[in-house]
Amino acid sequence: MPKLIIAPLSAGGAVTRNVYQEIIKADKLFIQTLKHPVSRWVNAEGLNAASMDDLYETADDFSRLNELIAERIVCGSDAVYAPLGRGCSEQLMNEILKASSKNGTQVVILPSSGFAEAAMADIGMAMPPAAMICSASSIPGRINPSVPICIEELDTRLLAGDIKLTLQEYYPDEFEVYLAYMADNGQYRKMKLKLCDLDRQELFDTATVLYVPSAEFDMLDRYGLEDLQYVLRRLRSPGGCPWDAEQTHETLKTPLIEESYEVLDAIERLDTGALCEELGDLLLQVVFHAQIEEEQREFTMRDVCTEIVKKLIYRHPHVFAGETVMNSEEVLANWETLKRREKAQNTQADAIKAVPKGFPALIRSLKIQKKAADVGFDWDSAEEAFFKIREETDELMQAIKSGVGIKEELGDLLFSAVNVARLLKLDPELCLNESADKFADRFMRMESLILGAGKRFSDMNLSEMDEFWEKTKA
């Protein structure tokens, strides 16, 4: 059985003993390219190596290039292939395995130190044991700035720009990094620069390495959810903040509600800056509650995220399970069906009972009415529902006169008003808020007119105030 050995070729001083021995003794040696300083030691050894340079020049795309390379190196006899860096790309490796299965070639992959180790050694910097090493083309989506990073194969200015943008999500623009580039003699040199200047350099090729030192937590400009969790753990840990450590689910109920309404206020005012801040305050409440449970070993923030992700996947089968929907109305109908199935709501009464009593009264009333309407228990039109308002108004007046049942009848009247709003496809909560805003605005204008006339509320009767009130409507 013929054997193909993948022997990754890094800088001369960093090539492993096994890689070196296999390359030296190879009867048939293939090399990724001879047009690179890293290949100089191969030439210096007087080895006869066939490169892939001609394929790079003639192939139409990378997919075809990988196919051609695999066809050449899986040649039916023992051979060694020396790619640059840590080894073959995933795409090329797939093509090699596909070709080797056809002619029965055994593929052996040797480990390699890659360019990062060689670069750090040449520039006189120790490689931290905890350092993360990755390719510029496969940098992780999440980065921990407390861990040093060596980014290999930073071969183009365009790629450097992408890497810079990724890193700027975590590090300050002025953060100092090191660019290690290979000189013509095959040795590395280093350049210290600011992160914001990374893609302004011209020293990029396959062997170029970017070293990003670890950063102190409090010197970062940007933070993520994990950072918020870290801060909260520290605040509630021994030696942290006494106030934060004392908080419970019960003490945090009011802040949770208040922060929710402050988010809504920012939305109403179309203030994106305030919205960003208020969403952060609301997120803090979520993380706070999750942290309390994590300390009790009940669940974690990751469990919270897991539950909502699973729920979204389950309730969107038209996105994740190949089902088809025609419009948003059908989406909502499916959502309710799946929700009832998920929560074992077998009757409509179960669905109504499941509406939380902690909701604001208008919102709770609206949701209960919608549940009833789902099975046809509803007015045919807003006009019909409006007559119910008149009926409830009369009953309230009778209750006021008799002094009996006033609270009940007032509640019925408000509930009927919610019905009308729903049938008009209006949100009663928003309607009432707008009316409150309108009243507050008019009252402030009325007071301004009164003060402008040299008067005070204490010196006026209701009739006089009403005159100024009417002026605000003009």
Residue closest to 206 by CA, chosen among 86, 120, 92, 84: 84
Question: In CATH, which superfamily holds the domain spanning 116-219?
Answer: Tetrapyrrole methylase, C-terminal domain (3.30.950.10)
- pLDDT of 72: 94
d(CA 122, CA 113): 14
Residue 325 gets the label, from left (phi > 0), alpha (psi -120 to 50) or beta, of beta
CATH fit for domain 3-112, picks 3.40.1190.20, 3.40.1010.10, 3.30.1510.10, 3.40.50.2300: 3.40.1010.10
**From-to residues of CATH 3.40.1010.10 in the chain:** 3-112
Residue closest to 168 by CA, chosen among 146, 142, 196, 192: 196
d(CA 250, CA 310): 28
What is the model's pTM?
Answer: 0.65
DSSP 457: G
d(CA 133, CA 155): 16
d(CA 464, CA 467): 5
Secondary-structure class of domain 225-314 per CATH:
mainly alpha
d(CA 239, CA 370): 51
- pLDDT of 123: 84
- For residues 215 and 184, the answer to whether their CB atoms sit within 8 Å is no
Residue closest to 370 by CA, chosen among 432, 315, 424, 423: 423
Enter the tokens of residue 296: 């009790």
**From-to residues of CATH 3.30.950.10 in the chain:** 116-219
Enter the tokens of residue 314: 């389950």
- pLDDT of 259: 94
- pLDDT of 130: 85
- pLDDT of 11: 66
Element (H, E) at 107: strand 106-109
- pLDDT of 13: 59
CA dihedral 211, 216, 218, 224 (to 10 degrees): 50
Sign of CA dihedral 27, 28, 32, 35: positive
Number of neighbouring beta carbons within 10 Å of residue 381: 11
pLDDT in single tens digits along all 474 residues of the chain: 899 999 988 765 567 788 889 988 998 999 998 888 777 778 778 888 999 999 999 888 889 999 999 999 999 899 999 998 878 888 999 999 999 999 899 999 998 777 888 788 888 888 888 889 888 888 887 888 989 999 988 989 999 999 999 999 999 999 999 999 988 777 889 999 999 999 999 889 888 999 999 999 988 888 989 999 999 999 999 999 999 999 999 999 989 989 998 998 999 899 999 999 999 999 999 999 999 999 999 999 999 999 999 999 999 999 898 888 888 888 888 888 887 787 777 788 888 888 888 888 898 999 999 888 888 899 899 999 999 999 999 999 999 999 999 999 999 999 999 999 999 999 998 899 889 999 999 999 999 999 999 999 988 999 999 999 999 887
Enter the tokens of residue 400: 């006021």
- pLDDT of 353: 84
- pLDDT of 336: 80
In 128-199, the DSSP E strands lie at 132-135, 149-152, 176-182, 188-194
Return all residues near 26 (Cβ < 8 A) that are at least 6 apart. Answer: 5, 47, 79, 80
- For residues 119 and 209, the answer to whether their CB atoms sit within 8 Å is yes
Question: Given the DSSP bridges, would you call strands 149-152 and 132-135 parallel, antiparallel or unpaired?
Answer: parallel
**From-to residues of CATH 1.10.287.1080 in the chain:** 225-314
